[in-house]
């Protein structure tokens, strides 16, 4: 701190504060570090040759004071507290409708922890903000230079206190309008809020308000709305110094704040030295907290010892994203509706003070004045001014009593009742009167001559909402809408990145206003309009890349080997404009972005085989790239060889079957990677099968999927050189104990021929006959249900087993099992249910009248064995065969069998065999009788 001069304009104020500290404290030293230090901070900032203009973000008073000061001073250089790397993007603000946010985005992170990615920094800008006034003045005034002097976006993450991962707001907003900034780190010009929790609580308590935004509106915003420049400047410096000196000793945050101040003053001195600009012709716009800085680098004559570290190797992209009042409030912890109230207050200030604000030429959403007034012309620059003490008069004068504007309050009361009725409330004229009177009453209880919007909000909630909220919006939200609503910005076409513009151009044949918010329906008939096929391709890629709801198909599908001829879509690209813009940071076309994401997902360290196969399928579906699909397929083969678990076996089976069917139809020869995948997967799952049967972590569905892969890929794997002995050895080593896995093993043995159906049926009957095993029988049935995946031929047996269970299981066992059966079929057997239903429809009678006389095939008594006759029809068959031996000789020659015809015996062997084993004839007769 430089030594104080005795002739400063604040000497009288300093003396008064020192006397007050001596009177109300034990001695002058008790408060000297705070009260006198605050005056010193204000004095130092005021005497700085380079004029410091302290602001508070989204403060109408700051915006009005900035517009007035710019027209008076007409500075040639404006230094602005904003990330210096965002400067090239500010000229695009004229192509947007405010509020918007300037964003720096880095998806390729180098020099930071990988789990921080992607890095995102946003700086929201509204019309009722001082920085927008400075930007508009600098960009539209010839000969004026705008210089951003705050740390770069890269340094924002370099200086993270404690090296912890940056996070977004603590309370996640529920509405999508409040989430427009996503998880980005907010950079706010003029962050002015006490960091001393006890001080903020004290101010809120004695100010009789609930939130800091309400306190600021009542005790700072309104008094400074009509103040002159010197008063505004000194009061803001006073508040900034007070909050700074009462801030708790968070060393990490204090270090970052002081480094930012050193950074900004270093950049300003570098610019002054390089251009030779006179500091008197410059204006430094920063937050009031940083304006009262005490670092050695402060001022144009400060120390030059601060060294700025180089940026990391991260690749940063820049763009404008839509913002909203709700997003700004959620990002920086402001009260709901405070930014909308500030926008309304901004309009009132302009009408009352008649200050002509600065607006960028061609700004979207700004109404052009019919006739420019002569008063709008800028006056000549003012000369050197003599600073006088304005603080003493401001602190000693009583607050100005603003008389009640009954017409405004009455209009609010009538409109809120009207809005409440539209939203389902039983409000009436009596409620409007009650809101009017209660607002005045609350303002009087809080020592206010005029009700504020917050008083009116409390009165409306008390008088109208009462107990319940009948509609989607409560009264508090209705008041926010009444006070201006949540304005949502929009980035114009010319300010969009190339990818976003390309998407709009390619979707132009749909003839929709895609930049508008809300959902729009798109109908695509590719038969009559083949050019819409390209729009369909774009929409399917957007559905894959953008959040849910941005592009949602209503009718139509896209699967391997299938393509719809008609589609219907619900599009909300205007609502999700931020997501579309951020896609532009990753590439110049959506095809490039999709390919990058598929590669990133496939080559991730924790990628599974199922995830890589999903990337292969997406590459074929959306990009139709055989090269990329083959590359990712080879990657899937590598990942499969390293997996030691069967967690993804069901997904692997489903995707491999689909890809294999597609390639067999679309290509004359299978790709080499899928042949290698079948061969490697066969050996891989044969190795894991014995362990999976006994592993408690592996589910029955996963084991069934392994068997499905082995059985469905067996013919292809054997043709490529695999040995079936591997599978036989795997089953020989499998010894499960859990009932469902045992049933699964039995079903697999039936498929391999190691177990006959009769033996399997006998085993199940023995289980039902054993009272000790009956409680566990539903678990066996669960295994048989999952066995339909690898062995669908057992569908009739599963129907038989389930029917026997319903017939013979006692109710205490059957009833608890039914919910498990239903949930199993719904969650894990959705593809198996049609197979069971079709088989049950074949077995059971189709008419109700036939049910009484129906006998289940497995319960029908076998008929008497057929006795073979010496002659007759059976003998005739043998005679016919002996009479025409040519066919039999040809078959024997084809099979390589050399034999001779035996002499005819009295009883043909075929007839004897038929007599010994009549089951086949009986089963055939029963089948014919049933049909």
Q: What is the CA radius of gyration of the chain?
A: 41
Higher pLDDT: 402 or 371? It is 402
**Closest to 210 measured CA to CA, from 478, 454, 452, 474:** 454
Question: On the CB side of 120, how many CA atoms lie within 13 Å of its CA?
Answer: 22
Res 426: pLDDT: 85
Q: What is the pLDDT of residues 206-249, one digit of tens each?
A: 667 777 777 777 777 777 777 788 888 888 888 888 777 766 55
CA 142, CA 139: separation in Å to the nearest integer?
Answer: 8
Structure tokens given for 156? 């924002």
Q: What is the pLDDT of residues 342-398, one digit of tens each?
A: 888 888 888 888 888 888 887 765 555 444 444 444 555 555 555 666 656 555 565
CA 394, CA 236: separation in Å to the nearest integer?
Answer: 12
User: In which region does residue 699 sit, left (phi positive, over 0), alpha (psi from -120 to 50) or beta (all else)?
Assistant: beta
CA dihedral (823, 828, 834, 835) positive or negative: negative
Total count of residues recorded for the chain: 931
Report the 3 state secondary structure along 897-929: CCCCCCCCCCCCHHHHHHHHCCHHHHHHHHHHH
Res 11: pLDDT: 59
CB atoms within 10 A of CB 502: 17
Q: pLDDT above 90 covers what percent of the chain? A: 11
Residue indicated by tokens 């085993």: 763
Alpha-carbon torsion, ordered 33, 38, 42, 44, to 10 deg: 10
Q: What is the mean pLDDT of the chain?
A: 79
Q: Identify each DSSP E strand in 249-304 by its residue range.
A: 282-287
Cβ pair 45, 113 in contact under 8 A:
no
CA 131, CA 78: separation in Å to the nearest integer?
Answer: 10
Q: Which residues pair with 285 in a beta bridge?
A: 53, 80
DSSP 8-state secondary structure symbol assigned to residue 13: H
Alpha-carbon torsion, ordered 672, 676, 678, 682, to 10 deg: 170
pLDDT surpasses 70 at 747: yes
Q: What is the pLDDT of residues 470-510, one digit of tens each?
A: 877 788 888 877 876 667 888 888 888 889 999 999 999 99
CA 548, CA 176: separation in Å to the nearest integer?
Answer: 12
Burial bucket for residue 753 (CB in 10 Å: 0-12, 13-18, 19+): exposed
Cβ pair 556, 568 in contact under 8 A:
yes
Helix (H) or strand (E) holding 659: helix 649-666
Cβ pair 208, 447 in contact under 8 A:
yes
CA 491, CA 486: separation in Å to the nearest integer?
Answer: 17
Distances in whole angstroms, Cα of residue 376 to Cα of each of 72, 344, 351: 12, 22, 14
CA 292, CA 296: separation in Å to the nearest integer?
Answer: 12
pLDDT surpasses 60 at 164: no
pLDDT surpasses 70 at 643: yes
Q: Is the backbone peptide bond immediately before 99 cis, with ω within 30 degrees of 0?
A: yes
CA dihedral (570, 576, 581, 583) positive or negative: negative
Structure tokens given for 518? 């809300």
Q: What is the pLDDT of residues 776-795, one digit of tens each?
A: 888 888 888 888 888 888 88
pLDDT surpasses 70 at 906: no
Cβ pair 182, 174 in contact under 8 A:
no
Cβ pair 677, 638 in contact under 8 A:
no
Structure tokens given for 23? 């009177």
Burial 733-747 (b: 16+ CB within 10 A, else e): ebebebbbbbbbbbb
Res 78: pLDDT: 93
Distances in whole angstroms, Cα of residue 890 to Cα of each of 877, 882, 883, 886: 19, 14, 15, 6
CA 591, CA 262: separation in Å to the nearest integer?
Answer: 44
Res 538: pLDDT: 92
Res 399: pLDDT: 56
Res 904: pLDDT: 60
CB atoms within 10 A of CB 559: 11
Higher pLDDT: 81 or 170? It is 81
CA 173, CA 321: separation in Å to the nearest integer?
Answer: 18
pLDDT surpasses 90 at 42: no
Crossing angle between the packed helical segments 475-482 and 453-460, to the nearest 10 degrees: 150
* Phi/psi at 307 (5° precision): -110, 130
CA 592, CA 827: separation in Å to the nearest integer?
Answer: 36
């Amino acid at each position: 701190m430089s030594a104080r001069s005795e002739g400063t304009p604040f000497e009288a104020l300093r003396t008064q504060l020192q006397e007050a500290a001596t009177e109300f404290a034990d001695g002058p030293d008790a408060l000297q570090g705070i009260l006198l230090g605050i005056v010193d901070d204000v004095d130092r900032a005021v005497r700085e040759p380079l004029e410091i203009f302290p602001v508070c973000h989204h403060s109408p008073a700051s915006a009005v004071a900035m517009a007035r000061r710019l027209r008076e001073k007409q500075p040639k250089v404006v230094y602005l507290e904003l990330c210096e790397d965002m400067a090239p993007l500010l000229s695009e603000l004229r192509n947007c409708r405010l509020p918007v946010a300037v964003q720096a985005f880095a998806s390729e992170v180098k020099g930071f922890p990988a789990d921080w990615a992607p890095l995102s920094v946003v700086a929201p800008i509204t019309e009722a903000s001082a920085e927008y006034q400075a930007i508009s003045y600098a960009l539209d005034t010839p000969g004026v230079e705008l210089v951003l002097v705050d740390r770069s976006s890269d340094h924002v993450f370099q200086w993270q206190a404690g090296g912890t991962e940056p996070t977004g707001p603590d309370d996640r907003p529920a509405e999508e309008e409040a989430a427009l900034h996503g998880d980005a780190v907010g950079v706010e010009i003029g962050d002015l809020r006490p960091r001393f929790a006890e001080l903020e609580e004290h101010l809120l308590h004695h100010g009789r308000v609930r939130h800091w935004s309400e306190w600021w509106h009542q005790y700072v915003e309104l008094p400074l709305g009509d103040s002159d420049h010197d008063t505004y400047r000194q009061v803001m410096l006073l508040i900034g110094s007070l909050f700074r000196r009462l801030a708790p000793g968070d060393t990490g945050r204090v270090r970052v704040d002081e480094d930012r101040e050193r950074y900004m003053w270093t950049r300003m001195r570098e610019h002054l030295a390089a251009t030779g600009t006179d500091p008197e012709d410059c204006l430094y716009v920063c937050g009031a907290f940083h304006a009262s800085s005490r670092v050695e680098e402060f001022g144009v004559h400060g120390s030059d010892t601060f060294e700025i570290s180089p940026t990391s190797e991260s690749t940063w992209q820049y763009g404008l994203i839509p913002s909203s009042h709700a997003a700004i409030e959620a990002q920086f912890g402001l009260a709901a509706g405070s930014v909308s109230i500030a926008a309304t207050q901004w309009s009132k200030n302009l009408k009352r003070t008649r200050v002509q604000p600065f607006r960028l030429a061609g700004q979207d959403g700004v109404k052009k004045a019919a006739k420019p007034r002569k008063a709008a012309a800028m006056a000549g620059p003012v000369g050197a001014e003599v600073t006088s003490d304005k603080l003493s008069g401001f602190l000693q004068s009583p607050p100005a009593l603003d008389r009640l504007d009954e017409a405004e309050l009455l209009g609010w009361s009538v409109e809120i009742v009207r809005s409440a009725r539209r939203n389902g409330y039983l409000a009436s004229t009596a409620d409007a009167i009650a809101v009017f009177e209660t607002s005045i009453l609350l303002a009087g209880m809080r020592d206010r001559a005029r009700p504020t919007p917050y008083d009116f909000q409390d009165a409306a909630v008390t008088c109208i909402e009462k107990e319940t909220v009948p509609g989607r919006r409560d009264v508090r939200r209705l008041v926010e809408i009444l006070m201006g609503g949540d304005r949502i910005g929009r980035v114009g076409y010319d300010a969009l990145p190339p990818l976003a513009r390309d998407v709009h151009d390619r979707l132009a044949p749909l003839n929709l206003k895609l930049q508008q918010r809300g959902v729009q329906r798109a109908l695509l008939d590719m038969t009559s309009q083949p050019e819409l096929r390209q729009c369909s391709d774009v929409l399917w890629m957007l559905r894959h890349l953008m959040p849910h709801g941005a592009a949602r198909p209503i009718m139509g599908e896209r699967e391997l080997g299938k393509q719809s001829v008609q589609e219907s879509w619900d599009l909300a690209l205007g609502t999700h404009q931020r997501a579309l813009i951020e896609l532009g940071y990753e590439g110049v076309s959506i095809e490039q972005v999709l390919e990058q994401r598929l590669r990133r997902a496939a080559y991730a360290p924790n990628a599974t085989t199922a995830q890589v196969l999903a990337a292969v399928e997406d590459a074929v579906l959306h990009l139709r790239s055989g090269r990329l699909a083959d590359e990712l397929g080879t990657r899937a083969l590598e990942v499969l060889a390293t997996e030691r678990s069967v967690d993804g076996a069901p997904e692997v089976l489903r995707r491999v079957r689909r890809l294999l069917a597609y390639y067999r139809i679309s290509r004359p020869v299978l790709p080499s990677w899928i042949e290698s995948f079948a061969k490697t997967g066969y050996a891989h799952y044969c190795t894991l099968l014995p362990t999976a049967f006994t592993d408690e972590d592996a589910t029955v569905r996963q084991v069934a999927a392994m068997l499905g892969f082995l059985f469905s890929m067996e013919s292809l794997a054997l043709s490529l050189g695999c040995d079936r002995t591997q599978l036989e050895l795997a089953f020989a080593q499998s010894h499960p104990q859990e009932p469902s896995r045992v049933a699964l093993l039995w079903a697999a043995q039936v498929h391999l021929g190691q177990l006959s159906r009769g033996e399997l049926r006998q085993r199940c009957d023995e289980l039902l006959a054993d009272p000790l095993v009956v409680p566990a029988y539903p678990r066996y049935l669960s295994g048989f249900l999952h066995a339909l995946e690898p062995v669908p031929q057992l569908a009739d047996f599963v129907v038989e087993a389930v029917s026997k269970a319903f017939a013979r299981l006692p109710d205490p066992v059957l009833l608890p099992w039914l919910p498990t059966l239903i949930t199993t079929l719904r969650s894990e057997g959705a593809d198996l249910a049609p197979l069971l239903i079709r088989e049950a429809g074949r077995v059971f009678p189709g008419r109700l009248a036939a049910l009484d006389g129906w006998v289940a095939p497995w319960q029908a008594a076998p008929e008497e064995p057929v006795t073979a006759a010496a002659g007759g029809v059976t003998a005739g068959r043998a005679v016919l065969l002996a009479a025409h031996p040519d066919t039999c000789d040809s078959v024997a020659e084809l099979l390589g069998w050399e034999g001779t015809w035996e002499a005819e015996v009295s009883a043909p062997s075929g007839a004897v065999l038929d007599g010994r084993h009549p089951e086949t004839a009986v089963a055939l007769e029963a089948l014919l009788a049933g049909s």
